[in-house]
Amino acid sequence: MNITAFPTLNFSDAFLRKPEEIPCEFIQTNFSAKKVSFHFRGANAIYHGLKRLSLPKGSTVLMPAYHCGVEVDAVLRNKLEVKFYHLDDKLNVDLTRLNGFLDETVKVLFVIHYFGMPQPMGEISRFCQKHQILLFEDCAHALYSRGDGRVLGTAGDLSIFSLQKSLPVVDGGVLIENQNNNPLRFNDEINPISLRRTKMVYWMNHLKLNTPGVFFLLNGIFFTPAKYLFRVFKKSRSSKGLAVATASTHDLNEEYLELGISQYSKQIFALQQENVIVQKRRKNYQTLLDGLNEENSRYIVYKYLA
């Protein structure tokens, strides 16, 4: 069985739809539309979410010691302090040790749902309410995930999703403001990527992931020469000179912080069927889990799916 490293896109979704505004059922069902803003990347959404809070100078954000780095950068760019807290052997927030990090400067608890697996949000929410601190959910890997029968991203005062981690898009971060009655207004019309460039990226990724032989053949005799000639005669770039966002980058580029999501990626998000993606992801995870379980030397954090 072949499981691709990145999500793949149906040919029909990439090319046979008009680039028009399509309502997103996931957003409409689970979140109020007025509390949602779309950004270039998930890290950008974190940055703007914290900026939106207008925290006092010297405020501290509690963050997990296990992280990729870019989320910490988003905090520091807001001139906020960071304290790292412990996780248990299941990558859950160690609430028994969290009290030791509290002082008058702590304003936000930042929680990551690792690999889409839910943190104990009931306990965490009660902890935040008790100590009067805000809860920020990082759902970068948890689009469509649930915990205790609840969609992840609905418990925190703020939450973010990174669409590239779960969907076949070239950019896209979503900021959810669950408790703010005066939500951030963001200019989605600042498109970082031209529609032509976006479609070409989708097309090449589709070929590379589904028919690698055809891709490498066409890449050698057509794509590479064509890209060179295209650069010579006309640069297909946005006003910011941007190609695509990368899901794995650990850098937060300040030049692109104000960019919104490309309209084509926003459309692809709206077209996805949640139940189909969830079933496929669970099937893929179980396949990988079965393979890893055969090697006793490996420590597996999540041995079972709920």
Q: What is the pLDDT of residues 253-282, one digit of tens each?
A: 887 888 888 888 888 899 888 999 999 999
> Which of 55-59, 169-173, 213-217 has the weakest average pLDDT?
213-217
pLDDT the model gives residue 188 = 46
- Among 3.30.950.10, 3.40.605.10, 1.10.540.10, 3.40.640.10, name the CATH number for the domain at 1-272: 3.40.640.10
Nearest to 109 by CA among 83, 89, 91: 83
Mean pLDDT of the chain: 80
For the chain, the structural domain boundaries read 1-272
Judged by phi (left if over 0) then psi (alpha if -120 to 50, else beta), residue 83 lies in: beta
Rounded Cα–Cα distance for residues 269 and 247 (Å): 15
Please report, rounded to a whole number, the percentage of residues in the chain having pLDDT higher than 90.
43
Assign 147 a pLDDT band (cuts: 50, 70, 90): very high
Q: What are the φ/ψ torsions at residue 264 (nearest 5 degrees)?
A: -70, -40
> Which of 41-50, 54-63, 148-157, 297-306 has the weakest average pLDDT?
297-306
pLDDT the model gives residue 267 = 86
- pTM of the predicted protein model: 0.79
Between 223 and 305, name the one with better pLDDT: 305
Pairing of strands 106-112, 60-64: parallel
